[in-house]
Amino acid sequence: MARRIVRRSVISDINQLDTSIHPVLKRIYSQRSLHTPEELDYRLDRLIPYHSLTDIQIAVELLTDAISQQKSIFVVGDFDADGATSTAIAVRALRAMGAVQLGYLVPDRFRYGYGLTPEISRIAHERGAELIVTVDNGISSLEGVRTARELGMMVLVTDHHLQGETLPDANAIVNPNKRSDPFPSKALAGVGVIFYVMLALRATLRERGWFEKNRIELPNLAQWLDIVALGTVADVVPLDGNNRILVDQGLRRIRAGKSCPGIRALLDVAQRNESKAVADDLAFYVGPRLNAAGRLEDMSIGIECLLTDDLVTARHHAAQLQQLNQERREIEQQMRDEAMQDLSAIHLRENGEIPAGICLFDESWHQGVVGILASRVKEKYHRPTIAFAPTDNDEIKGSARSIEGLHIRDLLDKIATRHPDILNKFGGHAMAAGLSLKKTHYARFSELFAQTVSAEMAHREFEGIIESDGELLANEMNMTVAALLREAGPWGQGFPQPIFDGRFAIEEQRIIGEKHLKLKLKHPQTARSYDAIAFNVMEDEDVVALLEKKNEAQFAYKLDINEFRGRKSLQLQVEAICELDS
């Protein structure tokens, strides 16, 4: 689908930033609403204090009571990277603070589905749980919490997902996205929430002399910030100032060789340099390998990888995750091919018009991979997309991905309100959601989804927008600036990695790996040539057609450093290729 490059506006006064900051970085920061040098201070003492989180003290009392009385605590996580890292943080921290009877459960997504279900509550009870602690889930687990309480267990919910109309009847709920919660940062991932709970617990236990009395070394929770950083980046939550502190501190530990063996092993199998790790390494290399366990098998493989302190064991788990990730890629590619065939049929049937909201379903598709499929289709057609896979009991489960400006969970809520019989369950965020419905309702839901999206997007274009930080001057396109940009993060959702644009002549182009393009681009003013690479570009028919008939185009790119066989060179990583403005 055609894409359009739009230059960002300067939002804040760049003159208020430190004069020592490079002019390119000053411009970038000003386009991300930064005003003062303090906003770039990522020291841990600048984290928002935990005190304003609703129920935080009740949560601490529940945990303190359970630890001091040696009650059985069970952590119930989710089967994605945020859930795995959240579980690992909870287990590591509680163990370090003296919890003796401690276990964890992660639901089998194919058997039990998401969150604290009644079945999972019963399993926890059978295993002797007295206190259930949910991480990265629970805010919508009304029945599961009710079952747990009826069975005599206490429940502490820690979550970051948006609440529904009714809250679960838990003993305590710690979630910055509860409607009444005053905590300033609503962007915490699940792993960030449980990290905050552990900070509060440690403070209370220290005040009460617990560590000294029981001869337990005061745990340094900062030692696990690499795990917090991984979960935060992998869950694609906005990197507001508070999250940037968590991620920056975690990356510092990784680069210093102080990360847990599991993250070291995952970076190794992904062939990423630990000493130069950035947020993208966690987002595109470590996170997907960890997620592969929950998508295809049992997320406990990923959790055990993060829990072990033995590097040999960690490498064994990382090798398993690497294999699962390869299987996931193969399944995803097959599903993508089938989905694109379906869309070609839709394209022809609707006289060239793709529906405003895309729904896809195939009896052979894998539940664990539909989220990735929805993301790929959404990126290609810039339409909110839901991909469905079959489950038991004539039900199908969908994973939804949205576009900027369309809150997908709220949109599903509108459909559910107007047509209360059509959705069994749903929940999620602005950009991603999960849902389930009866197979017999699929055709009707597809129509409603397209209609509702069309109404919500009235008078707005469906087009892929690439936001650019503007054009780089000739003396700014060098290795020094590229290295500066790489180290200036952490970049991520809500605080995007810098992208620039410019007009270039195409001197050379060749296909590599079937769908990528290696280019030699010449700047028309300076006549200087630059190496460039465009990933997956051969899958875009519009760009292929443009490159066949034009020898000059507008390119959006990241300024990057390519390292090959010990040699470093400047490289433009192409994000979009567009027609020149007439």
Q: What is the pLDDT of residues 36-63, one digit of tens each?
A: 888 899 999 999 999 999 999 999 999 9
CA angle 510, 515, 518 (to 5 degrees): 30
- Are 474 and 532 found together in one domain? yes
Instruction: Tell me the CATH number at 150.
Output: 3.90.1640.30
* Distance in angstroms (rounded) separating the CA atoms of residues 195 and 299: 20
The whole-number pLDDT of residue 145 equals: 97
More confident residue, 350 or 151: 151
Q: What average pLDDT score do residues 313-342 get?
A: 88
Say yes or no to pLDDT of 187 above 60: yes
Residue 292: both structure tokens together: 């592969």
3-state secondary structure of 39: helix
pLDDT digits (tens, 9 = 90+) for 285-321: 999 999 888 877 778 999 999 999 999 999 999 999 9
Helix axes 142-150, 118-126, angle to 10 degrees: 30
- Are 516 and 437 found together in one domain? no
* pLDDT > 70 fraction of the chain, expressed in percent and rounded: 96
The whole-number pLDDT of residue 499 equals: 97
My answer on whether omega of the bond before 490 falls inside 30° of 0, hence cis, is: yes
Q: Is residue 6 part of a domain?
A: no
- Are 417 and 548 found together in one domain? no
Categorize the per-residue pLDDT at 348 as very low, low, confident or very high, splitting at 50, 70 and 90. Answer: very low
One DSSP character per residue, 315-335 reads: HHHHHHHHHHHHHHHHHHHHH
| 148-157, 372-381, 537-546: least confident range | 537-546
pTM: predicted TM-score of the whole model, two decimal places: 0.88
- Are 211 and 311 found together in one domain? yes
Instruction: Tell me the CATH number at 530.
Output: 2.40.50.460
Q: Is residue 31 part of a domain?
A: no
| Domain tally, the chain | 3
Q: Are 508 and 487 in contact (CB under 8 A)?
A: no
Q: Is residue 343 part of a domain?
A: no
- Are 294 and 305 found together in one domain? yes
* pLDDT > 90 fraction of the chain, expressed in percent and rounded: 68
- Are 495 and 415 found together in one domain? no
Say yes or no to pLDDT of 460 above 60: yes
Say yes or no to pLDDT of 347 above 60: no
* Distance in angstroms (rounded) separating the CA atoms of residues 157 and 484: 41
CA angle 228, 239, 273 (to 5 degrees): 60
Categorize the per-residue pLDDT at 439 as very low, low, confident or very high, splitting at 50, 70 and 90. Answer: very high
- Are 509 and 414 found together in one domain? no
Categorize the per-residue pLDDT at 3 as very low, low, confident or very high, splitting at 50, 70 and 90. Answer: confident
Measured in Å, how far apart are the chain's first and last C-alpha atoms?
20
Categorize the per-residue pLDDT at 223 as very low, low, confident or very high, splitting at 50, 70 and 90. Answer: very high
Q: Is residue 143 part of a domain?
A: yes
- Are 239 and 96 found together in one domain? yes
Categorize the per-residue pLDDT at 1 as very low, low, confident or very high, splitting at 50, 70 and 90. Answer: low
For the chain, what is the total number of helices (H) and then of strands (E)? 19, 17
Dihedral in degrees, nearest 10, Cα atoms 223, 227, 228, 231: 180
* Distance in angstroms (rounded) separating the CA atoms of residues 173 and 54: 8
Residue 12: both structure tokens together: 């804040």
The whole-number pLDDT of residue 93 equals: 98
Q: What average pLDDT score do residues 99-119 get?
A: 84
The whole-number pLDDT of residue 135 equals: 97
More confident residue, 72 or 404: 72
Domain boundary among 436, 462, 488: 462
Could you list the residue range(s) of the whole structural domain that residue 400 is in? 354-462
* Distance in angstroms (rounded) separating the CA atoms of residues 42 and 376: 33
Q: Is residue 336 part of a domain?
A: no
Q: Is residue 28 part of a domain?
A: no
The whole-number pLDDT of residue 391 equals: 87
Q: What average pLDDT score do residues 7-27 get?
A: 78
- Are 301 and 429 found together in one domain? no
- Are 107 and 62 found together in one domain? yes
Q: Are 219 and 96 in contact (CB under 8 A)?
A: yes
Q: Which residue has the tokens 């064994």?
A: 316
Categorize the per-residue pLDDT at 12 as very low, low, confident or very high, splitting at 50, 70 and 90. Answer: low
DSSP character at residue 100: -
- Are 421 and 518 found together in one domain? no
Q: Which residues pair with 425 in a beta bridge?
A: 436
Say yes or no to pLDDT of 10 above 80: no
Q: Which residues contact 306 (CB under 8 A, 6 or more apart)?
A: 84, 85, 88, 227, 260, 262, 263, 290
3-state secondary structure of 558: strand
Categorize the per-residue pLDDT at 515 as very low, low, confident or very high, splitting at 50, 70 and 90. Answer: confident
Nearest to 85 by CA among 233, 203, 209, 207: 233
Q: Is residue 329 part of a domain?
A: no
pLDDT digits (tens, 9 = 90+) for 381-420: 889 999 999 987 789 999 999 998 899 989 999 999 999 9
- Are 141 and 287 found together in one domain? yes
Q: What average pLDDT score do residues 321-325 get?
A: 93
